[in-house]
Each structure stands twice: as C-alpha cells, then as structure tokens.
Amino acid sequence: MDLKSKIREIEDFPIEGVSFKDITTLTKDRDAFQESINLIVDDLKDKDIDYIVGPEARGFLFGAAVAYGLGVGFIPIRKPGKLPAPTASFEYKLEYGKNTLEIHKDAISKGDRVAIVDDLLATAGTVAAAALLIESLGGQVVALEFIIELEELGGRDRLKDYHVNTLVKY
C-alpha cells in the first residue's frame, strides 16, 4: 500500500512555510492504519522487546497500538506535571526555546529492552532526549520506529547509535 498517499499535507500549519504532515487521514483509514502498525510490529518482532515507549501525544496513538500488536507493555513519556508518581526528567533544546520530558522513575529497570515509537522523525530532538532518559534509568534502547521521516532535517544523523525504521519518507 502507498502509505504516503494516505497522509494529508497541509500548507502553512502550524506556521507559514511549513507543510504539515497530517496523520489523522492515515489513522482513519482502517487498512492504512493496520498496515502501518503491522510494519512496525514486524520490524520489532525478533528484537526481544520488553516495552514500547511513546511520547505524548501522537506517540501514544501509534506506540500503544504497536505494544498491543507485539504483545508487550506500553510506557508513556509525558509533558511535565502529568505523571503522578516520581519521575525522571530531561530538558532539551528546541530551535527556539526548550522542552522537558518526564517518565516514571520506576517504569524502566536495568536491562529492559525498549523500542520508542512516535509519529515523526524530524530533527530528532524529542526522540534523542527520550532515549537518554530511558538509558539514564538503565534501559536499553533497541529500536526507534516512526511513521514519517523528514529526511532533509537530518534527524537520522543524530541517531547513528540506534536502529531506526521509518515508513514514509519526505
């Protein structure tokens, strides 16, 4: 299936000059959604994964479906103040400003084999921070899985230490 044809491009969102990749048209399409999740599950099934980690909010959507399909647990990474138990946090720089991610400290144990799933690989800022957060708790980041890759932003170059799989490239 041509998954790219199921993704809607919306010009000048959220700001002028950006061509936003809208995955809601892909998730609404039952066959495209099934195939997207199945392709990620297939890529992970021989990697002895313990947990899928997904960043809020679109990483919840794809990550939880992958966890269910793979038969493993799902662990959320959230914006500050959302997780109720003690957290580890990681602050990282964006092009303008900064962002902080949190994970429950007791969510990851030493040696846990983890795959991170998110919708979009752009500059890789979020996923690189998420990987460091998992590793700081003793987890092993075995794979990074994305629906979309924006190749010209060079995110993959920042992730050379990891197995990276993306389904649709722009």
Catalytic residues: 58, 95
DSSP secondary-structure letter at 40? Answer: H
Binding mask 78-117 for a second copy (x = CB under 8 A): x--xxxxx------------------x--x----------
Q: Does 22 bind a second copy (CB under 8 A)?
A: yes
Q: Which is nearer to a second copy, 89 or 158 (CB)?
A: 89
| Strand, helix or coil for residue 84 | coil
Residues 146-165, mask of contacts with a second copy (x by CB under 8 A) = --------------------
By CB under 8 A, is residue 127 in contact with a second copy? no
Q: How many whole angstroms separate alpha carbon 56 and alpha carbon 170?
A: 23
Question: Measured between alpha carbons, how far apart are the two ends of the chain, in Å?
Answer: 16
User: How far lies 84's CA from each of 24, 81, 103, 110, in Å?
Assistant: 29, 8, 10, 22
Strands 8-11 and 19-22: antiparallel
Q: Which residues bind a second copy (CB under 8 A)?
A: 8, 10, 13-14, 20, 22, 24, 27-30, 33-34, 37, 51, 54, 56-58, 60-65, 67-69, 71-76, 78, 81-85, 104, 107
